[in-house]
Every structure is written in C-alpha cells, then in structure tokens.
Amino acid sequence: MPYDDAGTSGVQRFEVFTGAGRRRDWPLEVKVSIVAESFSGQETVCAVARRHGLSPSQLFTWRRDLRKQLEGRGVVLPATTRMAPSFVPAVIDPLPASDPAPAIRHFRKRRRSNASAVELEIDGVAVKIARGADAGVIAAVIEALKAQR
C-alpha cells in the first residue's frame, strides 16, 4: 500500500491475535508449587514450564527471584546435584562350542522388469501403463487424452 493513499483505500491485511492478550497474574501458591516442582530434579525446568503454559525464561526468573529472596534472609538453597553419568555393565555370553556360527546368507534382490504392459500414443502424447493397473484408471486416462484432442 503506497504511503500517499494511506487511510483512503480499504483494508488489505489485518492480523488476529488469539493469545491471552494480557499479563497473567499467578496466585502465590501456584507460583510456589511450580517453582518447587522445577527444583525437584525429576524433570527439566523447560519441561515444567511448558506443562504449565509458561515460557522457560519466566520460570527461570521466578527461580532466580526466589533464590535472591532466600539469600536476603540468610537461607541458601542447596546446589542441585546431578548424578554423574554411569555405564551399564555389558555381559557377553560366549556361544557354546557345539553350535556352529550362524551362516550369513546373502540375498540377491530380484530386478523387476520396468517394461510397461501397454504403451499408447494419442496425438503425440505417450502413455505407459504398467502391469496390474486398474482397468477403470486406464479407461479414465484414455478418455482424458481423447477429450484434449
């Protein structure tokens, strides 16, 4: 839309916002339970935030604010301890001596013939119809080609 006729022509584009459209006011009890859940260590902070319809940055802000409030009162939250990654022991059972190793069989892929069962040429248009094609589809293709003449 040119600038010279702004406001004189009809609306050409508009946007619809379907979100809440306002700031949500979370009750303190709900905030506390969500923040406590995020400190449980059973889920990531992002997963907790998504489940409650929050952006992860909002939940991280709530956590930071809580930490600052508690530190102002002299209470220090324990550092979250992450379990060190560990490996599951692998147990390998040897094959019994009496069982021969299984033979590896190589299968050859069969090459199917790509040759068409029927080839039609109508007014310079070539149609190749493969084996197993539905008779109704074949008839519809032929009728469509005849109609374009």
Specify the number of domains making up the chain. Answer: 2
Pairing mode, if any, of strands 125-129 and 118-122?
antiparallel
Q: Quote the CA–CA distance of 145 and 82 in Å, as a whole number.
A: 70
- Look at residue 113 and tell me if it is in a domain: no
Q: Quote the CA–CA distance of 122 and 148 in Å, as a whole number.
A: 10
Domain limits for position 29: 25-78
* Cβ-Cβ contacts under 8 Å for 40 (sequence gap 6 or more): none
- Look at residue 41 and tell me if it is in a domain: yes
Mean pLDDT, the chain, as a whole number?
76
- Look at residue 16 and tell me if it is in a domain: no
Q: What percent of the chain has pLDDT over 70?
A: 64
Give 59-112 pLDDT, tens digit per residue.
Answer: 999 999 988 988 888 887 766 656 677 777 777 777 777 655 566 666 666 665
Q: Which of 107, 105, 131 is nearest to 118 (CA)?
A: 131
Q: Quote the CA–CA distance of 134 and 1 in Å, as a whole number.
A: 53
- Look at residue 85 and tell me if it is in a domain: no
Q: Quote the CA–CA distance of 94 and 104 in Å, as a whole number.
A: 19
Q: What percent of the chain has pLDDT over 90?
A: 13
- Look at residue 124 and tell me if it is in a domain: yes
- Look at residue 3 and tell me if it is in a domain: no
- Look at residue 40 and tell me if it is in a domain: yes
- Look at residue 73 and tell me if it is in a domain: yes
